[in-house]
Amino acid sequence: MADNFVYDGSYLRLKTIKLSYNLPVDRINIKWLNKGQVFVSGQNLITLTTYPWWDPDVNTNGGSNSINQGIDYYSYPVYKGITVGLNLTF
């Protein structure tokens, strides 16, 4: 059996992170606002791996009971996303 295309699939990924700040509405003296929060969140921002292709967490050529699990066959990369938002309670 040839192992020419067998790669180490170990990786470390920062999957989800959220940073938020609660606005001090009592100090600002805004009567119509009960609570306020500003946030920024990120998804899949960093993946540390030596895997040479898009994503080391692949299963593009088989289901959960398939013998073809882990085959990277024209898979798409995992998206990276950043969300900025504001939560207000009136």
Q: What is the pLDDT of residues 26-71, one digit of tens each?
A: 888 878 889 999 999 999 999 898 888 777 777 666 666 667 666 7
Q: What is the pLDDT of residue 66?
A: 64
Distance CA 15, CA 47 (A): 8
Q: Decide if 6 is inside a domain.
A: no
Q: Decide if 4 is inside a domain.
A: no
Does residue 21 register a pLDDT over 90?
A: yes
Residue 86, classed as helix, strand or coil, is strand
Q: Decide if 66 is inside a domain.
A: yes
List of E strands, 1-64? 11-22, 35-49
Residue 73, classed as helix, strand or coil, is coil
The gap between the terminal CA atoms of the chain, to the nearest Å, is 66
Q: Decide if 5 is inside a domain.
A: no
Does residue 11 register a pLDDT over 80?
A: yes
Does residue 4 register a pLDDT over 70?
A: yes
Residue ranges making up the domain that contains 28: 11-89
Number of domains in the chain: 1
Residue range 2-30: mean pLDDT, rounded: 86
Q: Decide if 2 is inside a domain.
A: no
Distance CA 16, CA 55 (A): 16
Q: What is the pLDDT of residue 16?
A: 96
